[in-house]
Structure 1
Amino acid sequence: MLDIKWIRDNPDVLDEALKKRGAEPLSQTLIELDDMRRAVIQKLQDMQSRRNAASKEIGAAMGQKNTELAERLKAEVSEIKDTMPAAEQEEREAVAALEDALSRVPNIPYDDVPVGRDESDNVVKHVVGQKPVWNHPAKEHFEIGEALGYMDFERAAKLSGSRFTVLTGPLARLERALGQFMLDTHTMEHGYTEVSSPLMVRDQAMYGTGQLPKFVEDLFKTTDGRWLIPTAEVTLTNLVSAETLEQDKLPLRFTALTPSFRSEAGSAGRDTRGMLRQHQFWKCELVSITDAESSVAEHERMTECAETILKRLGLHFRTVTLCTGDMGFGARKTYDIEVWLPGQDTYREISSCSVCGDFQARRMNARYRGKDEKALKFVHTLNGSGTAVGRCLIAVMENYLNEDGSITIPDVLLPYMGGLKKIEPAT
Structure 2
Amino acid sequence: MLDIKWIRENPAVLDAALASRSAAPQAEALIALDEARRAHLGRLQEAQERRNAASKEIGNAMRSGDSAKAEALKAEVADIKAFIQGGEAEERRLDNELNDALANIPNLPLPEVPKGKDEHDNVEVRRFGNELIEARKANMPNKPREHYELGEAMGLMDFEAAAKISGSRFTVLKGDLARLERSIGQFMLDLHTTEHGYTEVQVPLMVRDNALFGTNQLPKFEEDLFFTPHGETRLGLIPTAEVPLTNLVREQILNQEQLPLRFTALTPCFRSEAGSAGRDTRGMLRQHQFNKVEMVSITDADSSLAEHDRMTDCAETVLKKLELPFRTVVLCTGDMGFGARKTYDIEVWLPGQNTYREISSCSVCGDFQARRMDARYRVKDEKGTRFVHTLNGSGTAVGRALIGVLENYQNEDGSVTVPQVLRAYMGGKERIGGR
**Which amino acid is 1:94 matched to?**
L
SS of match in other structure, 1:423: strand
1:390 matched to which residue of 2? 399
1:115 matched to which residue of 2? 115
Q: Distance in 1 between matches of 2:172 and 2:277?
A: 21
Is this contact kept in 1: 2:359–2:397, CA < 8 A? Answer: yes
- Return the offset for 1:181: 0.2
- Return the offset for 1:223: 1.3
Is this contact kept in 2: 1:149–1:425, CA < 8 A? Answer: no
Instruction: Point out where structure 1 has 5 or more consecutive residues left out of the alignment.
Output: none
- Aligned pairs for 1:239-278 within 5 A: 239-278=248-287
**Which amino acid is 1:310 matched to?**
L
Q: 1:196 aligns with which of 181, 198, 202?
A: 202
Is this contact kept in 2: 1:141–1:394, CA < 8 A? Answer: yes
Matched, 1:150 2:156: yes
**Which amino acid is 2:61 matched to?**
A
- Aligned pairs for 1:10-159 within 5 A: 10-130=10-130, 131=133, 132-134=136-138, 136=141, 137-159=143-165
Larger deviation, residues 163-172 vs 36-45? 36-45
1:117-172, Cα deviation, whole Å (9 max, x unpaired):
00000000100011242351201111110000000001101111110000010000
Q: 1:361 aligns with which of 358, 370, 374?
A: 370
1:328 matched to which residue of 2? 337
SS of match in other structure, 2:347: strand
Q: Distance in 2 between matches of 1:182 and 1:24?
A: 40
1:347-382, Cα deviation, whole Å (9 max, x unpaired):
000000000011111111111111221221111110
Matched, 1:411 2:420: yes
2:322 matched to which residue of 1? 313
**Which amino acid is 1:6 matched to?**
W
Larger deviation, residues 253-262 vs 367-376? 367-376
Q: Distance in 2 between matches of 1:153 and 1:345?
A: 23
Is this contact kept in 2: 1:33–1:98, CA < 8 A? Answer: yes
1:3 matched to which residue of 2? 3
Q: Distance in 2 between matches of 1:294 and 1:272?
A: 40
Larger deviation, residues 269-278 vs 44-53? 44-53
**Which amino acid is 1:145 matched to?**
G
Q: Distance in 1 between matches of 2:128 and 2:434?
A: 31
TM-score normalised over the length of structure 2: 0.97
- Return the offset for 1:89: 1.0
**Which amino acid is 1:32 matched to?**
A
Larger deviation, residues 83-92 vs 406-415? 83-92
Aligned-CA RMSD value? 1.0
SS of match in other structure, 1:226: strand
Q: 2:178 aligns with which of 172, 179, 185?
A: 172
Matched, 1:372 2:378: no
Is this contact kept in 2: 1:309–1:387, CA < 8 A? Answer: yes
Q: Which runs of 4+ in 1 moved over 4 A?
A: none
**Which amino acid is 1:380 matched to?**
H
Larger deviation, residues 133-142 vs 358-367? 133-142
SS of match in other structure, 1:306: helix
SS of match in other structure, 2:137: coil
Q: Distance in 2 between matches of 1:171 and 1:372?
A: 56
**Which amino acid is 1:186 matched to?**
H
Larger deviation, residues 79-88 vs 382-391? 79-88
SS of match in other structure, 1:337: strand
TM-score normalised over the length of structure 1: 0.98
**Which amino acid is 1:283 matched to?**
K
- Return the offset for 1:73: 0.7
Q: Distance in 2 between matches of 1:37 and 1:275?
A: 49
2:224 matched to which residue of 1? 218
Matched, 1:288 2:297: yes
**Which amino acid is 1:119 matched to?**
E
Q: Distance in 1 between matches of 2:346 and 2:82?
A: 61
SS of match in other structure, 2:390: strand
Q: Distance in 2 between matches of 1:239 and 1:208?
A: 11
- Identity %, equivalent residues: 68
Q: Distance in 1 between matches of 2:247 and 2:216?
A: 11
SS of match in other structure, 1:14: helix
2:187 matched to which residue of 1? 181
Larger deviation, residues 54-63 vs 369-378? 369-378
SS of match in other structure, 2:77: helix
Instruction: Point out where structure 2 has 5 or more consecutive residues left out of the alignment.
Output: none
SS of match in other structure, 1:286: strand
SS of match in other structure, 2:291: strand
Is this contact kept in 1: 2:260–2:298, CA < 8 A? Answer: yes
Is this contact kept in 1: 2:416–2:434, CA < 8 A? Answer: no
- Return the offset for 1:81: 1.9
- Return the offset for 1:425: 4.8
**Which amino acid is 2:319 matched to?**
L
Larger deviation, residues 47-56 vs 319-328? 47-56
Is this contact kept in 1: 2:413–2:434, CA < 8 A? Answer: no
**Which amino acid is 2:208 matched to?**
R
